């Protein structure tokens, strides 16, 4: 586990209402009382960098306790997107780096935790992860882009680097976006309608469910008659909005991002676009909502956000624009949102499998995202972008 340095560090959890909970770490002891819902939170004072593996103790007034070992202090980055962010180092050009890290004589203090996928209509309180925080000895199983990014930071900063990974394959950007950010964006009324139709707590949702159940009853009658007569069964009505979906607007934000907020981080990296490849100009609005929603949710109005522009894919085809349109939209988003936003161009990075959507070279895009962070967050005098404007 890695905690963010030089920042207040929220530690939170759940207990019986009224119980007193104390968190002890690095000579600090902070106490809170669980509220009527059982929620409690303390904030550790800013911590200095430490490669020493120390214990974090959580205990309540009933003498119940939880102990977490191997806690380091350094830099933590949130990592998200779809399959090219999920893609592991061992299956990419990062494989050699992963092997070097894993077989190093001394522990390379890079850690990754992969948040399990949960789809939800409302923000969830708890997150799970198979295996929790993983050490660099298992780096081949890390997200390739995240590992490349983290290792580049580590080489320059010489401090622990943590990756909080919450990504899922074949998923559209709006699934990772906060509901309020979608509702507030004037160009995303269609996404907002899908959410409202599925939410029985809204008037729109109640009306949608009434229509659905009315149609369902009629379908049951017709389906029964057809079945008895040996005829064709009609198509069953769909649930309203995103209710029958599991990757609809805000569903992954609610299920696998909201539960880890407000874990202290430095910033975020993002790799996504394939599933929105036909979105055209609306994708810029969706990126705006994504970034604003994350910044609002974390209470970090200047949260750094670095992303990869869509890669080249397939053989040249004069009759198809491929991903050129989405690349242009990503560039326009970058041009219009320069405050702590950086874009990494990938078009010059040839894949070892040119026909594959999951490009092999994830080493250099990760390094390029790291250069943005090194220049902008860590004050390194290095070039972080090419001649784009």
In DSSP notation, 314-328 reads SS--TT--TTHHHHH
Task: Give me the mean pLDDT over the 203-208 stretch.
Answer: 84
**Average pLDDT value for residue range 9-28:** 98
End residue of a domain, out of 245, 261, 284: 245
Please give the pLDDT value at position 277: 86
pLDDT at position 125 over 80: yes
Q: What is the pLDDT of residues 161-193, one digit of tens each?
A: 999 999 999 999 999 999 999 999 999 999 999
Is residue 64 a part of any domain in this protein?
Answer: no
- Whether residue 332 is contained in a domain is answered as yes
For residues 174 and 206, membership in a common domain is answered with no
Do 364 and 226 lie in a common domain?
no
What is the mean pLDDT of the segment spanning 262-270?
99
**What does DSSP assign to residue 238?**
P
202 shares a domain with 314: no
Question: Does 203 lie in the same domain as 187?
Answer: yes
In a domain, 29, yes or no: no
Q: Which of the four pLDDT bands, split at 50, 70 and 90, describes residue 354? A: low
pLDDT at 353 over 60: no
153/200 same-domain check: no
pLDDT band with cut points at 50, 70 and 90 for residue 352: very low
CB count in 10 Å sphere of residue 19: 16
Residues 191 and 221 in one domain: yes
Residues 209 and 264 reside in one and the same domain: no
Residue 130 in any domain: the answer is: yes
Question: Do residues 136 and 283 both lie within one domain?
Answer: yes
pLDDT of 244 > 90? The answer is no
Cβ atoms of 170 and 245 closer than 8 Å? no
Residues 212 and 197 in one domain: yes
pLDDT score for 281: 80
Do residue 162 and residue 259 come from a single domain? yes
Query: In this structure, what are the phi and psi dihedrals at residue 46, rounded to the nearest 5 degrees?
Result: -50, 135
CB 19, CB 36: distance < 8 Å:
no
**CA–CA separation, 68 vs 300, rounded Å?**
27
- Give the three-class secondary structure for 136: helix
Two structure tokens written together for 343:
């874009």
The more confidently predicted of residues 31 and 360 is: 31
Residue 300 lies in a domain: yes
pLDDT band at 238 (very low <50, low <70, confident <90, very high): confident
My answer on whether 150 and 295 are in the same domain is yes
Domain count, the chain: 2
Structure tokens at 47: 């911590």
Preceding amide of 262 cis, omega within 30: yes
Model's pTM, two decimal places? 0.91
CA distance 100 to 341: 31
The whole domain housing 342 covers 76-178+250-376
At residue 314, the pLDDT reads 63
69 in any annotated domain = no
CB 88 within 8 A of CB 112: no
| pLDDT single digits (tens) 290-346 | 999 999 999 999 999 999 999 877 666 666 666 888 999 999 999 999 889 999 998
């Amino acid at each position: 586990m890695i905690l963010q340095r030089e920042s207040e560090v929220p530690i939170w959890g759940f207990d019986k209402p009224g119980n007193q909970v104390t968190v002890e770490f690095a000579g600090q002891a902070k106490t809170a009382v669980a509220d009527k819902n059982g929620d409690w939170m303390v904030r550790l004072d800013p911590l200095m960098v430490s490669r020493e593996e120390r214990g974090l103790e959580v205990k309540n007034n009933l003498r119940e306790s939880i102990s977490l070992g191997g806690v380091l202090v350094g830099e933590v980055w949130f990592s998200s997107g779809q399959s090219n962010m999920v893609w592991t180092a061992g299956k990419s050009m990062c494989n050699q780096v992963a092997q070097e890290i894993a077989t190093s004589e001394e522990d390379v203090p890079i850690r990754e935790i992969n948040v399990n996928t949960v789809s939800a209509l409302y923000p969830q309180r708890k997150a799970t992860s198979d295996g929790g925080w993983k050490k660099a000895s298992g780096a081949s199983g890390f997200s390739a882009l995240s590992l490349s990014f983290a290792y580049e930071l580590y080489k320059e900063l010489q401090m622990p680097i943590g990756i909080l990974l919450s990504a899922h394959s074949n998923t559209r950007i709006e699934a990772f976006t906060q509901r309020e950010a979608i509702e507030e964006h004037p160009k995303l009324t269609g996404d907002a309608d899908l959410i409202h139709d599925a939410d029985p707590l809204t008037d729109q949702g109640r009306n949608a469910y009434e229509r659905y159940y009315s149609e369902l009853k009629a379908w049951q009658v017709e389906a029964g008659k057809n079945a008895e007569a040996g005829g064709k069964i009609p198509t069953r009505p769909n649930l309203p909005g995103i209710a029958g979906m599991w990757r609809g607007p805000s569903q992954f934000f609610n299920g696998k991002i909201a539960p880890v907020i407000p874990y202290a981080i430095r910033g975020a990296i993002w790799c996504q676009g394939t599933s929105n490849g036909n979105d055209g100009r609306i994708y810029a609005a969706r990126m705006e909502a994504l970034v604003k929603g994350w910044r609002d949710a974390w209470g970090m109005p200047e949260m750094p956000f670095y992303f990869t522009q869509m890669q080249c894919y397939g053989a040249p085809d004069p009759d198809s624009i491929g991903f050129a349109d989405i690349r242009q939209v990503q560039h326009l988003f970058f041009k219009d949102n320069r405050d702590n936003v950086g874009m990494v161009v990938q078009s010059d990075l040839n894949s070892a499998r040119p026909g594959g959507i999951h490009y092999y070279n994830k080493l250099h895009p990760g390094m390029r995202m790291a250069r943005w962070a090194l220049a902008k967050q860590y004050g390194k005098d290095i070039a972080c972008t090419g001649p784009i404007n």
